[in-house]
Chain A
Amino acid sequence: MQTVLFHNARDDVVRFTSSVVAACEHALDGGAVCATELAIGDSSEHPLSDRAEDFLPDGPHPFSSVDYLHFGENLGSAGGHNRLFQESRADIVLVMNPDTYASPRLVTELVRGLADSSVGVVEARQLPLEHPKAHDPVTGDTSWASGSCVLVRAEVVAATNGFDTELFFLHGDDVDFSWRARLAGWRVVHRPSARVFHDKRLDDNGGLRPSERELEFSARAHVLLPWRYSRRDLALARLAALESSPERYQRRIAAELRAKIDAGDMPEPIDPDHRVAQFVGNEYAAHRFSYSDP
């Protein structure tokens, strides 16, 4: 299991790891896995502690090893996880955000999702605000898996080289990773019985409250993803929309991207036959509902 911290409070991290302790114990007791290890990366300026055990709750834990790695620089979520992938010796890796809380059966249920050897990535169901992305109710197949809580085979990481840190620092990395895994022949599934709490909150209008950073990186991914997945037309249309946006940050991002295009720095397009990439409205999958519905 691996997670990447960035300016988290120690108590919050301990609450998070206590849930992982219980979920791993359940998986070990039920024979879903034979061993577990915990790796905590930290992108903050200063290390939160110099002892990995400080991030664990009191009492016994089921991990064969517990590692804390202070990166010394902000690698972002994608870069942090890639670094931890390199250190991992596990066959399967559970990637989690530190603002989540695992249900006791989370690991067991996610591992069960790998019973079919064609499945390479299994996504958990988030609560209390479910991701509105649709999935096939019979097979579980879904367009992409959210990186806030996802189980991946080490083979998938090896085949894809993990997250693309060149293009994605924070947002869109999981969509890109899922689509490249699918291009490599793996299935990506959503597993409703694998529950995870994700600390998302509603604003005063009952809508989602994204941070400024999330908005920025989301706007960037909005152009980069269609570009990479051979939808240059859509990428340019979105870029034009950003350029004429009343929001200053969007115009700034548009200028950066325009400069990349002019310099020939944009990624090489893949998926020319549109086998995996989906662009449905502003989303990367069909959605059951939208948090921005009126």
Chain B
Amino acid sequence: MTDRPSLSPTDRVVELLCRRRPPQGSVVVDLGRNHEEVHDALVPLGLGYLAAGPAATEIPRLVRGGIEVVGEGLATPRALFTAVRSCLGERPVAGVVLGDAPSRVLAIGSVLDALRAFCIEVGNAPIVAHVANVTHLDVAATLLLGRWDAVPGGIVSPDQVRQFSDRSLHTLMAQHGFSQMGAADVRHARLDGPCEDVPLERTTSIGMQLSALRQMADSAAFVTHFVRMYEPVQKEPSRAASVVVHDNGERVDGPAARPFLSVLLRTQGKRPGTLQESLLCLAAQSCDDFEVLVLLHNGTDGTASSLSEMVGEFHPSFAQRVRVVEVYGGGRSRPLNEGALVARGRYLAMLDDDDLVFAHWVESFREGAEQRPLHMVRVPIATQQVAERPAAWDGHQGYEVVGRPRLLYPLQFDHLDHILDNRTPNNGYAVPRSFVVDLGQGWDESLPVLEDWDHLLRAASMCGVVSVPNVTGLVRSWTVGEDSKSAHSAQVWERTRRRIVERNDQRPLVLDLGSFSKIRELGGRLDRTDGALHDAYHRIHLMHDSTSWRLTRPIRVASRGARAIRRRLRRRRPTDAPN
């Protein structure tokens, strides 16, 4: 957890600068505050050093120490960089140290804009910044205790004008045209001083829960300082090229345009007929406060455009709420995770391309979310058997419904029941998008099956559940044809089930209101069963020891022998019979 704790942020700044192997004699321009420290680390490496804009009070000391200085403070950044430029002359720039300026300079935007222009002018010089991480677990746990422990030099320090999380640092830099190209964060599992607070101690139950929760959100729970290297770019780079989004028609963006629900409709493009039916069910919803992301996983050439055409055939009132998203690589869950990132809805629900939903599917999710905001909403789903068939008389790519819908799972959600096994198909629950995106609770891409069970267990534990007992959907069970049940062996299912159980044992489990009584009731039932069994064993034991049982032993032996003879005779009879 602790990554080379002896190194300070300044050491990491130097480490990052050296990673690029700057040429001997090139100059590092330092806008930070630890001039001597950085100077003393860089000069032995054959690099030049220029302290830019130090406080006026520090300049005499720096000059006395033989450090080259230009400008005073960062109040007029353009003028400062003009001065730096002329001071450098023809010397190449190895990089710029921004230090902790983002957290202490009020007008950091104009500094970054001027810095970016300077960096481009001197040949795309990299910059290195370090800021404290206000989202360190200990800061969060301390806040829960009602304290804001600001100490000079600490993560929370009185001279900071701005606090940073990993995301807000990224946003600030991206907004001003910088792209991250390296990181050497400082990590400490615990902040300074002995731990005297129960929530801050990792091994207490509450400490474990807080730690698990914080680590779910991102990987910066134990980072004390972000130390990052950036390069200037034209604009914020787009997301991974493995995801391509196709819009259908115009749409108004912005928070007001955010729908209640984003439907993550997963397809491989192999069953266009059933996909068309899933889309038809969505188009016919009684509540239209939702969008659809058709997540095409590893589609072949032309599939995405034929899906877009399929969507475009619907009336614009529906088609404009549908986007086709191409996703490449990863396992079954990759499309869901990628879809969650581009989704605009406040809630996420899933659908596979052979699932169907009734007209009140979205309406029921919204009803649940209004009853208990930000809870997982669960609706019952029926199962219907279908079989692949040869194409019908009209060329319809064939399958046939071969049985009535069956309700295999309870109408009401029961958390304890779901711990035993999954009782909710993937189109039977919706989760707040924040649970997936902000808490990092996506679908586990390493699971070949049961990824929905694993996901639902986490959602139920962390969000709580509201049940809306309307049967609102159908999942197909393919008696002939492939589905996830037939595509994987029984061993894979069992192995995955064990893995999920083991993993759930590794994290604290929070149960919903009322669970205490349910567990007591279950325990009581077990106790009674155990007592009855014990009683039965005792009676058998007494019977075995009784005189009558011992006296009747010869009769039992004789009757066993007679039964054996009868069986033997019965086996021989067919061979004696005439043809």
Is A228 in contact with chain B by the CB < 8 A criterion? Answer: no
Q: Check B280–A197 contact: CB distance below 8 A.
A: yes
Chain A residues within an 8 Å CB radius of B281? 127-128, 197
Is A65 in contact with chain B by the CB < 8 A criterion? Answer: no
* In the complex, residue of chain B having the shortest beta-carbon distance to the beta carbon of A22: B315
Chain B residues within an 8 Å CB radius of A289? 401-404
Q: Check B359–A201 contact: CB distance below 8 A.
A: yes
Q: Check B277–A195 contact: CB distance below 8 A.
A: yes
Q: Check B394–A113 contact: CB distance below 8 A.
A: yes
Is B449 in contact with chain A by the CB < 8 A criterion? Answer: no
Binds B, one of A71-79, A101-109, A178-186, A238-246: A101-109
Binds A, one of B27-35, B227-235, B405-413: B405-413
Q: Check B405–A202 contact: CB distance below 8 A.
A: yes
CB contact under 8 A between A137 and B393, given known A103-B280, A104-B314: yes
Is A47 in contact with chain B by the CB < 8 A criterion? Answer: no
Interface centre among A109, A191, A192, A199, by most B CB within 10 Å? A192
Is A112 in contact with chain B by the CB < 8 A criterion? Answer: yes
Chain B residues within an 8 Å CB radius of A136? 393
Contact partner of B280 (CB less than 8 A), chosen from A101, A138, A207, is: A101
Task: Decide if the interface of chain B is mainly helix, strand, loop or mixed.
Answer: loop
Is B253 in contact with chain A by the CB < 8 A criterion? Answer: no
Q: Check B280–A204 contact: CB distance below 8 A.
A: no
Q: Check B394–A109 contact: CB distance below 8 A.
A: yes
Contact partner of A291 (CB less than 8 A), chosen from B316, B404, B411, is: B404
Complex interface residues of chain B between 386 and 404 (CB less than 8 A to chain A): 389-390, 392-396, 398, 400-404
Chain A residues within an 8 Å CB radius of B407? 202, 204-206
Q: Check A128–B357 contact: CB distance below 8 A.
A: yes
Binds B, one of A11-19, A168-176, A215-223, A274-282: A11-19
Is B317 in contact with chain A by the CB < 8 A criterion? Answer: yes
Q: Check B359–A192 contact: CB distance below 8 A.
A: no
Q: How far is the CB of A209 from chain B (nearest CB, A)?
A: 9
CB contact under 8 A between A288 and B317, given known A127-B356, A202-B382: no
Is B105 in contact with chain A by the CB < 8 A criterion? Answer: no
Q: How far is the CB of A150 from chain B (nearest CB, A)?
A: 15
Q: Check A12–B400 contact: CB distance below 8 A.
A: no
Q: Check A192–B396 contact: CB distance below 8 A.
A: yes
Q: Check B469–A204 contact: CB distance below 8 A.
A: yes
Contact partner of A140 (CB less than 8 A), chosen from B394, B401, B404, B471, is: B394
Is A87 in contact with chain B by the CB < 8 A criterion? Answer: no
Is B276 in contact with chain A by the CB < 8 A criterion? Answer: yes
Contact partner of B471 (CB less than 8 A), chosen from A59, A193, A202, is: A202
Q: Check B356–A128 contact: CB distance below 8 A.
A: yes
Count residues of chain A with CB under 8 A from any CB of chain B.
49
Chain B residues within an 8 Å CB radius of A259? none
Chain A residues within an 8 Å CB radius of B471? 201-204, 206
Q: How far is the CB of A24 from chain B (nearest CB, A)?
A: 11
Complex interface residues of chain B between 253 and 291 (CB less than 8 A to chain A): 276-277, 280-281, 283-284, 286, 288
Is B474 in contact with chain A by the CB < 8 A criterion? Answer: yes
Chain A residues within an 8 Å CB radius of B474? 128
* In the complex, residue of chain B having the shortest beta-carbon distance to the beta carbon of A196: B280
Q: Check B315–A19 contact: CB distance below 8 A.
A: yes
Q: Check A12–B393 contact: CB distance below 8 A.
A: no
Q: Check A206–B317 contact: CB distance below 8 A.
A: no
Chain B residues within an 8 Å CB radius of A202? 358, 382, 405, 407, 471
CB contact under 8 A between A129 and B392, given known A12-B286, A195-B277: no
Q: Check A206–B284 contact: CB distance below 8 A.
A: no
Chain B residues within an 8 Å CB radius of A15? 284, 288, 317
Chain B residues within an 8 Å CB radius of A26? 313
Q: Check B394–A59 contact: CB distance below 8 A.
A: no
* In the complex, residue of chain B having the shortest beta-carbon distance to the beta carbon of A125: B396
CB contact under 8 A between A206 and B406, given known A18-B317, A19-B283, A103-B280: yes
Q: How far is the CB of B394 from chain A (nearest CB, A)?
A: 5
Chain A residues within an 8 Å CB radius of B188? none
Is B78 in contact with chain A by the CB < 8 A criterion? Answer: no
Q: How far is the CB of B412 from chain A (nearest CB, A)?
A: 11
Chain B residues within an 8 Å CB radius of A288? 400-402
8 contacts between A and B (CB under 8 A): A132-B404, A197-B359, A201-B358, A203-B471, A206-B404, A288-B400, A288-B402, A293-B403
Give me the interface of A with B, judged by CB distance under 8 Å.
Answer: 12, 15, 18-19, 21-22, 26, 57-59, 101, 103-105, 109, 112-113, 125, 127-130, 132, 136-140, 191-195, 197, 199-207, 288-293
Instruction: Given contacts A22-B315, A201-B471, A288-B400, list 17 more A-B pairs with CB under 8 A.
Output: A15-B284, A15-B288, A105-B313, A137-B389, A137-B392, A139-B393, A140-B392, A199-B284, A199-B286, A202-B358, A204-B407, A206-B405, A206-B406, A288-B401, A289-B402, A289-B404, A293-B404
